[in-house]
Structure 1
Amino acid sequence: MTGDTRTTHFGFQTVNEDQKAGMVHGVFTRVASKYDVMNDLMSMGIHRVWKDAMMDWLAPRPGQHLLDVAGGTGDVAFRFLGRAGDGARATVLDMTAPMLEEGRKRAEAERMADRLDWVVGDAMALPFEDGTFDVYTISFGIRNVTRIPDALREAYRVLKPGGRLMVLEFSQIPNALMQKIYDLYSFNVIPVMGQVVAGDRDSYQYLVESIRRFPDQDSFAAMIREAGFSQVKYRNLTMGIAALHSGWKI
C-alpha cells in the first residue's frame, strides 16, 4: 500500500479498493442471464432450501417492508412477500442493472409488481432515509462488498428501531476433512461448470475464491455486533457450507 491508496481482495487477487466495485459489477453483468441456473447446478438446488430456512427464521409478518440488498433476481424478495401476507412490501437493491432485469422477467415479479420496487444502488451508500425498513436481507452478496463494515453500518442506519438484519452467506465448515473435500469440488468443478453453462470460467473462479476469503462464522458475527446490532446469532446450514446470521437494531 502506498500513499492513501487502500487495497482489498478480489478473490485471491489484491486490488485497489476503488477498483473492486467495478470488477464485481463486471462479474455479475456477465453472469446475470445464467445466474439462477448456475445457482441450481452449483448447489444441486440446496440454495433454495437455505433460502427457505432463512424465511423460517425470519418469520415475515404482514405490513413489513423488506430491503433485499444484492437481491437482483428476486429470490428472497419473492419468498418474503409470499409469506408476509397483506400490506408487506419489498425493495430489491442491486449494483448491477442486468441482475435486476433478470429479476423483473420472472413470473413472480409480474404477480407481485404492486408490492415490489427495483433499485440500482450500492450497499455501502444506500439511497434511503434513516429508519425506513423493518427487515434487511442480503444473500450471497455481502462477501462481494468492498468494505463489509460500511455495508453493515448502512444496514443498521436504514432499519427502523426493532428492525432485523439477516445475512445468508457461504461460510466455513468446522470439520477440516469436510472442508478439504468441499474445496476440491469448488475449485475443480464450479469454474468448469461456469465455462460450460455460462461461457465464463473466470467469473466463477472469482466467486469460489471470494468464498474462501470471507470471515468465518464467529468473526462475521463480531463484525455485525461492531456495526451496532444486538442479539447476534448464527445458524450453520449443510454442515457450515453456508450460514445464516441474524441481528436486531434495538
Structure 2
Amino acid sequence: MSTDPAWTDEALRSPHEVTDKAGRVRRMFDAIAPRYELVNTVFSGGRDRAWRRRAVELAVVRPEDDVLDVACGTGDFARAFGRANPRSVVGCDFAHGMLVRAKGRPTGPTACCEADALRLPFRDGSFSIASCAFGVRNFQNLGTGLREMFRVLRPGGRAVILEFSRPANPVARALYEFYAARLMPLAASLLSGDRSGAYRYLPRSVVSFRDVAQMRAELCNAGFADVTATALTMGIVTVYVATRV
C-alpha cells in the first residue's frame, strides 16, 4: 500500500475537481478508520450523535421501511436508523477498512456490502429510505450518486442526507471556519495518527462544496421532489429530506 498522503497541497486546491477523487477518498478512509468515530465525537463536541438522531427523526421511519445507508462508513448512521426499528437496514461503502468496523458491531446494519455509491448493486425500487451522512460531498460525481439513490428508492421513498454546510450568520461562519481550517486539522491528525491528509481535506471539501440552495437544486435535478433543508447547530450541518414521487 502506498505511504504517500491521499491529499497533497495541489489536490486540495480543488478537491472536488481532481479526476482520481474516488481513489483518494477510499485511501483516506481506509487510513483513518481505526479512530474515525472517536475523532468525530471529540471534535464535534459529541454533537455528531445528536445530528444523526435528528436526521432519523426527520426521516419518519416506519416499521415497514427498508433503509439503505450509502457510504455508511463504520455504520454509525445505520445504527441510528436501526434504533428507529425499520424492517431492515443495509449499509454499503467502498472503503474496506470502514466496512470491516461496521460489520463488527452487534447493533450494526442488517447487512453490509462493499460497493461504490455511483454504482449501487441493487435493483430499482429496492428501498423506502436511502440515507447518507457526510458522504455525498465525497462522491466523485454528485449528480450520479444522487440519481443512484433515486433509482433504488420506491415511489414515495425518501432520501435523507446529512452534510456539512456553512453557517449563514457571518460571525458563526468566521468562528467555524477558523476552527475547521486552523485548529481541528492539526489536533485531529495528532489524535488519529493520520498521515493521509484527511483532516486537511475536510474543511477544504466543505467550503468548496455546494451551498444549501445548490444542494437542493442538485436533488431536484436528480428527480426528487418536496426537498426540505433543516439547519442544525447554527447551520454547521444541514439535513436534506427529498421524496421520490
In structure 2, the CA distance between the partners of 1:182 and 1:211, relative to structure 1 (3 Å rule), is same
* Contact 2:166–2:211 (CA under 8 A) maintained in structure 1: yes
Q: Alignment partner for residue 217 of structure 1, among 207, 212, 229?
A: 212
**After superposition, where does 1:164-243 map in structure 2 within 5 Å?**
164-200=158-194, 202-243=197-238
**Counterparts of 2:102 and 2:112 in 1: how far apart (Å)?**
9
Instruction: Determine helix, strand or coil for the equivalent of 2:213.
Output: helix
1:130-154, CA deviations, whole angstroms, 9 ceiling, x for partnerless residues? 1111100000000000110111111
Matched, 1:148 2:142: yes
In structure 2, the CA distance between the partners of 1:11 and 1:64, relative to structure 1 (3 Å rule), is farther
In structure 2, the CA distance between the partners of 1:14 and 1:51, relative to structure 1 (3 Å rule), is closer
Q: What's the CA shift for 1:194?
A: 2.2
1:67-99, CA deviations, whole angstroms, 9 ceiling, x for partnerless residues? 0001121112112122125xx101101010110
Q: What's the CA shift for 1:17?
A: 5.0
2:4 alignment partner in structure 1: none
Instruction: Determine helix, strand or coil for the equivalent of 2:189.
Output: helix
Count of residue pairs the alignment pairs up: 235
**Counterparts of 1:66 and 1:14 in 2: how far apart (Å)?**
30
**Counterparts of 2:35 and 2:166 in 1: how far apart (Å)?**
26
**Counterparts of 2:224 and 2:12 in 1: how far apart (Å)?**
28
Q: What's the CA shift for 1:10?
A: 5.3
Gaps of at least 5 residues in structure 2 are: 1-9
Instruction: Determine helix, strand or coil for the equivalent of 1:55.
Output: helix
Instruction: Determine helix, strand or coil for the equivalent of 1:108.
Output: coil
Matched, 1:76 2:77: yes
Q: What's the CA shift for 1:16?
A: 6.4
* Contact 1:11–1:208 (CA under 8 A) maintained in structure 2: no
Percent of matched pairs sharing the same residue? 33
1:106 alignment partner in structure 2: 105
Higher helix content, 1 or 2: 1
Q: What's the CA shift for 1:15?
A: 7.6
**Counterparts of 2:44 and 2:12 in 1: how far apart (Å)?**
20
1:94 alignment partner in structure 2: 93
Instruction: Determine helix, strand or coil for the equivalent of 2:123.
Output: coil
Matched, 1:12 2:3: no
- Matched AA of 2:94: M
In structure 2, the CA distance between the partners of 1:162 and 1:10, relative to structure 1 (3 Å rule), is farther
* Contact 2:22–2:140 (CA under 8 A) maintained in structure 1: yes
* Contact 1:163–1:249 (CA under 8 A) maintained in structure 2: yes
Matched, 1:52 2:46: no
Larger RCO, structures 1/2 (Cα 8 Å, 6+ apart): 2
Instruction: Determine helix, strand or coil for the equivalent of 2:143.
Output: helix
1:5 alignment partner in structure 2: none
Instruction: Determine helix, strand or coil for the equivalent of 2:33.
Output: helix
Instruction: Determine helix, strand or coil for the equivalent of 2:116.
Output: coil
After TM superposition, the structure 1 stretch with the greater mean CA deviation from structure 2, 192-201 or 156-165, is 192-201
- Matched AA of 1:239: M
Backbone CA RMSD of aligned residues: 1.6
- Matched AA of 1:169: E
In structure 2, the CA distance between the partners of 1:32 and 1:229, relative to structure 1 (3 Å rule), is same
Gaps of at least 5 residues in structure 1 are: 1-8, 110-114
